Chains A and B, each alone.
Chain A
Amino acid sequence: MKKKIGLIVNPVAGMGGRVGLKGSDGKKIHKMALALGAVPVSPKRTCEALNVLSGIQTKIELFTYPAEMGQDEAVLCGLSPNVIGSIQKGKTTPGDTIKAARDLEKTGVDLLVFTGGDGTARNIYDAVSDRLTVIGIPGGVKIHSGVYAANPVKAARLIIDFVTSPSKIALQTAEVMDIDEEMVRQDKVSAKLYGYMKIPYERGLNQSSKAGSNPKDEMFQDEIALDVIHNMDPKVIYLVSAGTTTKAIMDKLKLEGTLLGIDAVKNKQLISADLNESAILQLLAREPETPFNIITTVIGRQGYIFGRGNQQISPAVIRRVGKENVIVIATINKILSLNQEPFLVDTGDPELDKELEGYIRVTTGFGKQHIYNVSS
């Protein structure tokens, strides 16, 4: 049976970068970018991926939106897509991306491919949440979201394996993140974690007897959670940061934790959920005698452990808890995906960032820690 693949191109993604604008979301910025002579990057990126896909043409049914939102790119690459929906050519909006994602979901696509940046990922997430398996072709300027492949060809390879050798593929969750672009243009970075979607990744299933395969992320998350719980001290209040890896701890403890928020746990009980910075500071003030630990994980493609997706844990919070009381957890796959690049911190307090630099222990399994470098 043919696999149904959906394709959405955000035709204006990636315009801002070359002309020095950080992102291209929003009408005004888009106009500014065009005025500055920006050319859209995402159609080209899309074609880089689609060209590779031509080899499996007969095994897929491609569904896409009209004109520059997918049809043009697909036709240019010699594919014959089923085109649905309608747009106003040359005047597409984020609303079109959302509509396209909803429509494609209705056609029952097995995999939704989209090109764009963090804003596009967010739109897709808003439309279909984590119901669909997706993969992003990076076309945006600055990408924090983990739902994007490293480059268009890698995205295409994943799609091919997804179609032709499903047993080589497993699914993992990846972040949808976005920076408030207005703040960036004022040179203030503040990336927010919006949610998680399911993406395919290559498992490297092996055949010979001595080598295994890349274990699924959930297994490691499970093991990591067991390790953290095993070592929990009943006197300590744990501030559990955002992410699926940290959420696994809450699940294991059968606590109603939040995926995107900061939760406080003591003696394996939830004492409060989804705390913002001031709520955390209040809690710290209320419990001057109590030792605190922060449990954080790597968020986003670049490997942030502080400053992206968990800004609630502010410099003041980290200082009060103490650097030595930060527990970092991450799956091996996540660490490997960083390609040797260090973990990053960007708390907004450069001095604190410097203090957080250096080697840290990362819990990667039950009774297992990797040593990894942190940089700011």
Chain B
Amino acid sequence: MKGIKLKKYHAPKYDEPLIMEIGVDGRRGIMVPQVDKEIDDTVGTLEDLIPAKSQRKKAPALPEIDQYHTLMHFLRLSQMTLGMETGIDIGEGTCTMKYSPKVNEELVRSPQMAEVHPLQPEKTLQGILEIAYELRNYLKAISGMDEFCFQTGGGAHATYINACITRKYFQERGELGTRNEVITTQFTHPCNAATPSTAGFRVIILPHKNGYPDLDALKSVVSERTAAIHMTNPEDTGLYNPVVDEFTKAVHDAGGLCFYDQANANGIMSVARAREAGFDACHFNLHKTFSSPHGCEGPAAGAYGCTEALAAYLPVPVVTKLSDAYHLDFDRPKSIGKVRSFYGNLPAVLRAYAWIRSMGPKGIKTTAEISILNNQYLEHLLSQIDGISYPYAEGKPRFEQIRYSMAKLKEETGLGSHEIQNRIVDFGIQSYWLSHHPYVVPEPFTPEPCETYSKEDIEYWATAIEQACKEARETPEIIESAPHNQAIHQIKDFSQAEDADRWAITWRAYKKKTKK
């Protein structure tokens, strides 16, 4: 890209030992409250209080470190993490790595959220219940569904709940014996296959035709055995399926239910909804579209919404409003029961609420529009790079993300998306994500430049890819031995993680295996 200069970045490099290797006997990181003298005198000793068989004989071999150096160690580790906010995280597509507003973090840390016990009397939880209830209303508007619940601990968990609701729905109708198949598509997130399978269904995967899920294949397979379809739109490819309503119709005609995985709805909010496409249920990832931070893979939250017909099956409790007070409704006899303790991840609910309030209807529309525009712009830049392409449906626009392929680069240089991935982090941008397995698109990578990223970020990102591809042709040894500017060097041999004799999941296992 003309005029863009890549940064002379280098990650902080501390050669930081493991926490298990530091410390000196006797040092303390923190003092805990001591037993009150009077209490100590009256209750007896630990030996009196704990049955002999349950007393811990050997203290756990935890390190003994003072507070300053404990802090220092973990601060260093944090600096050795590019994360999202320092690392132009366009690369982790399908994950909608958007900015998590700091003001929301302040709210989440306030005692009114952090120091609240879930089992407190309802009347002492009215603030967070109001927020949950209002978020429910907003998500109803965004999806067209009739009811929402926030119990699920992540997006995949929400798809699991759908499988559980499907199970219960057909059990009630006495059809569970025959309706044992859940259909999904090749380019839908794999949790849509894995969770019905966990729930005991057989899973049918539809092929794609030129990048679109194959409607004829669906029609050939729906039957009295069909319990549900789990699909998404746009799919991982970024292609919007314009006949999605014919999919839902075909499944409904066969008596099945239709679930829409909207983990990332970022590109179509206020443009298209689950309801118009004929879905019975959907879910949003509050940690994607609605700005809750990803937190090193959680805490996450899936918001599961459904139509009136399925609302009775939702896990308990559901937040309701009666006159002026908000309630947790446990009295739902048809409910599938519990899926997570308490009420889910309410701090994520709070953040989503604050984000939507900060956006309003116009902001949400702008979010969707800019996420689409950013993606067109990135596509415009990446398609000028020799060796990169994306398959299927030529001439059809992609929505908020694209699954690209470096197959040509690989063919010509022997270096593909795995190798380039190791290099781009040298320019101070977060590593990109490749694809779900199996790799239907060879040498894949899937960037998603959501509304958070500026034009300059997108140009910088494309320049980093361009530079790495250029190196693959001109100085392949740079790519082969990448990374060069990171806290550590290239991993020697990935098969170490495949071999029970050489892998070590904990320090104590490592010491045993290496005889340290």
Indicate if A touches B (C-beta under 8 A). yes
Interface residues of A (CB under 8 A from B): 52, 55, 153-154, 157, 160, 166-168, 204-215, 332-333, 336, 358-359, 361, 364, 367-373
Given the complex of chains A and B, what is the CA–CA distance between A358 and B495 in angstroms? 41
Tell me which residues across on chain A come within 8 A of B431, comparing CB atoms: 208
CB distance from A155 to the nearest CB of B (A): 12
- Interface positions of B from 221 to 252, Cβ below 8 Å from A: 221
CB distance from A110 to the nearest CB of B (A): 16
Size class of the B contact interface (CB-based, 8 Å) = 35 or more
Report the nearest B residue to A213, measured CB to CB.
B437
Tell me which residues across on chain B come within 8 A of A213, comparing CB atoms: 437
Report the nearest B residue to A333, measured CB to CB.
B438
Given the complex of chains A and B, what is the CA–CA distance between A157 and B414 in angstroms? 6
Given the complex of chains A and B, what is the CA–CA distance between A6 and B387 in angstroms? 32
Given the complex of chains A and B, what is the CA–CA distance between A369 and B181 in angstroms? 10
Question: B433 and A153: CB pair below 8 A?
Answer: no
CB distance from B495 to the nearest CB of A (A): 4
- Could you name 12 residue pairs across A and B whose Cβ atoms are closer than 8 Å? A153-B411, A167-B494, A207-B422, A215-B437, A359-B216, A359-B217, A359-B220, A367-B201, A368-B205, A370-B207, A371-B204, A371-B220
- Interface positions of B from 412 to 444, Cβ below 8 Å from A: 414, 418, 421-422, 431, 433-440
- Asked whether B88 is an interface residue with its Cβ less than 8 Å from the other chain, the reply is no
Given the complex of chains A and B, what is the CA–CA distance between A154 and B407 in angstroms? 11
- Asked whether B273 is an interface residue with its Cβ less than 8 Å from the other chain, the reply is no
Report the nearest A residue to B431, measured CB to CB.
A208
Report the nearest A residue to B206, measured CB to CB.
A371
Report the nearest B residue to A227, measured CB to CB.
B202
With A206-B418, A207-B421, A211-B433 as contacts: A371 and B221 at CB distance below 8 Å: yes
Question: A368 and B435: CB pair below 8 A?
Answer: no
With A211-B433, A211-B437, A369-B202 as contacts: A52 and B414 at CB distance below 8 Å: yes
Question: B206 and A206: CB pair below 8 A?
Answer: no
CB distance from A365 to the nearest CB of B (A): 8
* Residue in B204, B216, B297, B436 whose CB lies within 8 Å of A369: B204
Tell me which residues across on chain A come within 8 A of B203, comparing CB atoms: 367-369
Residue with the highest number of chain A CB atoms closer than 10 Å, among B95, B297, B439: B439
Question: B207 and A367: CB pair below 8 A?
Answer: no
With A204-B439, A214-B438, A336-B439 as contacts: A368 and B193 at CB distance below 8 Å: yes
Question: B433 and A167: CB pair below 8 A?
Answer: no
* Residue in A166, A212, A215, A333 whose CB lies within 8 Å of B495: A166
Residue with the highest number of chain B CB atoms closer than 10 Å, among A168, A204, A209: A204
Given the complex of chains A and B, what is the CA–CA distance between A166 and B498 in angstroms? 12
Tell me which residues across on chain B come within 8 A of A373, comparing CB atoms: 207, 217
Tell me which residues across on chain B come within 8 A of A369, comparing CB atoms: 202-205
Question: B207 and A372: CB pair below 8 A?
Answer: yes
CB distance from A327 to the nearest CB of B (A): 14
Question: B221 and A206: CB pair below 8 A?
Answer: no
* Residue in A157, A209, A214 whose CB lies within 8 Å of B439: A214
With A210-B433, A214-B439 as contacts: A204 and B207 at CB distance below 8 Å: no
* Residue in A212, A332, A367, A371 whose CB lies within 8 Å of B214: A371
Given the complex of chains A and B, what is the CA–CA distance between A157 and B410 in angstroms? 9
Residue with the highest number of chain B CB atoms closer than 10 Å, among A160, A212, A367: A367
Given the complex of chains A and B, what is the CA–CA distance between A123 and B23 in angstroms? 65
Question: A211 and B202: CB pair below 8 A?
Answer: no
Given the complex of chains A and B, what is the CA–CA distance between A183 and B220 in angstroms? 37
Given the complex of chains A and B, what is the CA–CA distance between A157 and B422 in angstroms? 19
- Asked whether B197 is an interface residue with its Cβ less than 8 Å from the other chain, the reply is yes
What 0/1 readout, one digit per residue, does chain B (467-495) give for beta carbons within 8 Å of chain A? Answer: 00000000010000000000000010111
Tell me which residues across on chain A come within 8 A of B496, comparing CB atoms: 167
Question: A336 and B438: CB pair below 8 A?
Answer: yes
Question: B297 and A370: CB pair below 8 A?
Answer: no
Question: B494 and A205: CB pair below 8 A?
Answer: yes
Tell me which residues across on chain A come within 8 A of B414, comparing CB atoms: 52, 55, 157, 160
Interface residues of B (CB under 8 A from A): 95, 193, 197, 201-207, 214, 216-218, 220-221, 297, 410-411, 414, 418, 421-422, 431, 433-440, 476, 491, 493-496, 498
CB distance from B79 to the nearest CB of A (A): 20
Tell me which residues across on chain A come within 8 A of B411, comparing CB atoms: 153-154, 157
Tell me which residues across on chain A come within 8 A of B201, comparing CB atoms: 367
Tell me which residues across on chain A come within 8 A of B437, comparing CB atoms: 204, 211-215
Question: A368 and B436: CB pair below 8 A?
Answer: no
Given the complex of chains A and B, what is the CA–CA distance between A160 and B414 in angstroms? 9
Residue with the highest number of chain B CB atoms closer than 10 Å, among A167, A209, A371: A371
Tell me which residues across on chain A come within 8 A of B476, comparing CB atoms: 55
Report the nearest B residue to A360, measured CB to CB.
B220
Report the nearest B residue to A363, measured CB to CB.
B202
CB distance from B161 to the nearest CB of A (A): 19
With A205-B494, A359-B217, A361-B204 as contacts: A368 and B438 at CB distance below 8 Å: no
Q: A207-B418, A211-B436, A359-B220 are in contact. List 15 more A-B contacts (CB 8 A).
A: A157-B410, A166-B495, A167-B495, A167-B496, A168-B418, A204-B437, A208-B431, A208-B433, A210-B433, A211-B433, A212-B437, A213-B437, A367-B197, A369-B204, A371-B214
CB distance from A202 to the nearest CB of B (A): 9
Question: A206 and B434: CB pair below 8 A?
Answer: yes
Question: B297 and A209: CB pair below 8 A?
Answer: yes
Question: A358 and B205: CB pair below 8 A?
Answer: no
Report the nearest A residue to B446, measured CB to CB.
A211
* Residue in B434, B491, B498 whose CB lies within 8 Å of A211: B434
Given the complex of chains A and B, what is the CA–CA distance between A333 and B202 in angstroms? 20
Report the nearest A residue to B194, measured CB to CB.
A368
CB distance from A374 to the nearest CB of B (A): 11
Report the nearest B residue to A56, measured CB to CB.
B414
Given the complex of chains A and B, what is the CA–CA distance between A55 and B475 in angstroms? 12
Tell me which residues across on chain A come within 8 A of B418, comparing CB atoms: 168, 204-207
With A213-B437, A359-B220 as contacts: A368 and B197 at CB distance below 8 Å: yes
Given the complex of chains A and B, what is the CA–CA distance between A52 and B414 in angstroms? 9
Tell me which residues across on chain A come within 8 A of B218, comparing CB atoms: 371
Tell me which residues across on chain A come within 8 A of B440, comparing CB atoms: 336
Report the nearest A residue to B221, measured CB to CB.
A371
CB distance from A359 to the nearest CB of B (A): 4
Tell me which residues across on chain A come within 8 A of B95, comparing CB atoms: 210
Given the complex of chains A and B, what is the CA–CA distance between A47 and B168 in angstroms? 63
Tell me which residues across on chain B come within 8 A of A52, comparing CB atoms: 414
Question: A167 and B205: CB pair below 8 A?
Answer: no
Report the nearest B residue to A371, measured CB to CB.
B217
Given the complex of chains A and B, what is the CA–CA distance between A359 and B215 in angstroms? 11
* Residue in B221, B297, B494 whose CB lies within 8 Å of A359: B221
CB distance from A30 to the nearest CB of B (A): 33
For the complex of A and B, 9 pairs with smallest distance between CB atoms: A167-B495, A359-B220, A167-B494, A371-B217, A367-B202, A370-B205, A205-B494, A212-B437, A332-B438
With A154-B411, A333-B438 as contacts: A371 and B433 at CB distance below 8 Å: no
CB distance from A189 to the nearest CB of B (A): 27
